[in-house]
Amino acid sequence: MILGLSKWEIVARTSQYTVPETTLNRTSAGINYIFASNIIAKLAYETNDDDIAPVDDKMLVQLAYGF
């Protein structure tokens, strides 16, 4: 593997949730950077589509630490 690329991950997720009033479709894609086995930085873009709420797309940034 190319030096340094093993610390990067490409991630994607899709989901659908149905209630009597509407159906919510959610799709997200992003990248993760692994600093250490217990520290990870995440950057993702999420799109939300339903019939009730206005456009609710967002950019998500997270730094996670576990022990």
Q: Give pTM, 2 decimals.
A: 0.75
Residues 32-61 have a mean pLDDT of: 89
Domain ranges of the chain: 5-65
Report the sign of the C-alpha dihedral through residues 23, 61, 63, 10, in that order: positive
- The answer to whether residue 52 scores a pLDDT higher than 80 is no
Tokens of 44: 């993702």
CATH architecture of the domain formed by 5-65 = 2-Layer Sandwich (3.30)
Percent share of the chain, pLDDT over 90: 58
Tens digits of per-residue pLDDT, 8-19?
Answer: 999 999 999 888
